Chains A and B, each alone.
Chain A
Amino acid sequence: MASLALLIPTEKLDRLHIAANLTAAAASMGWSVHLFFTFWGLLALVKGREPSGITGDYMAYESSLKKAVESGVMPRWADLIRQAKQLGDVKIYACSATMNLLSIDRDQLEDFVDDVVGAATFLSIAEKSDVSLVV
Chain B
Amino acid sequence: MEEDRVVHVVDARYLSCPGPLLALVKKLNEVRRGGIIKLLATDPATPRDVKEWAERTGHKLLEYKKVEQVFEIYIEV
| Binary B-proximity of A16-36 (CB < 8 A = 1, otherwise 0) | 000001001100111000000
Q: How far is the CA of A110 from the CA of B6 in the complex (A)?
A: 41
**Within residues 18 to 51 of chain B, which ones have a CB less than 8 A from any CB in chain A?**
18-19, 21-22, 24-26, 49
User: In the complex the two chains form, is A73's CB within 8 Å of B53's CB?
Assistant: no
User: In the complex the two chains form, is A28's CB within 8 Å of B53's CB?
Assistant: yes
User: In the complex the two chains form, is B15's CB within 8 Å of A73's CB?
Assistant: yes
Chain A contact-residue range equals 10 to 19
A29 contact from B15, B16, B17, B56, Cβ within 8 A: B56
User: In the complex the two chains form, is A25's CB within 8 Å of B15's CB?
Assistant: no
User: In the complex the two chains form, is B18's CB within 8 Å of A30's CB?
Assistant: no
Q: How far is the CA of A28 from the CA of B50 in the complex (A)?
A: 10
Q: How far is the CA of A62 from the CA of B5 in the complex (A)?
A: 45
Q: How far is the CA of A18 from the CA of B52 in the complex (A)?
A: 19
B55 to chain A, nearest CB (A): 9
Chain B contact-residue range equals 10 to 19
Contacts A29-B53, A29-B56 hold; do A24 and B14 have CB atoms under 8 A apart? no
User: In the complex the two chains form, is A25's CB within 8 Å of B49's CB?
Assistant: yes
Contacts A25-B49, A28-B53, A29-B56 hold; do A73 and B22 have CB atoms under 8 A apart? no
Does A131 sit within 8 A of B, measured CB to CB?
Answer: no
A73 contact from B14, B25, B52, Cβ within 8 A: B14
Q: How far is the CA of A28 from the CA of B14 in the complex (A)?
A: 19
Query: A25-B18, A68-B16 known; 8 other A-B pairs, CB under 8 Å?
Result: A25-B17, A25-B21, A28-B21, A28-B24, A73-B15, A73-B19, A74-B15, A74-B16
What are 22 inter-chain pairs, A to B, with CB distance below 8 A? A2-B56, A21-B17, A21-B18, A24-B18, A24-B21, A24-B22, A25-B17, A25-B18, A28-B18, A28-B21, A28-B22, A28-B24, A28-B25, A28-B53, A29-B52, A29-B57, A30-B57, A68-B16, A72-B15, A74-B16, A75-B19, A87-B25
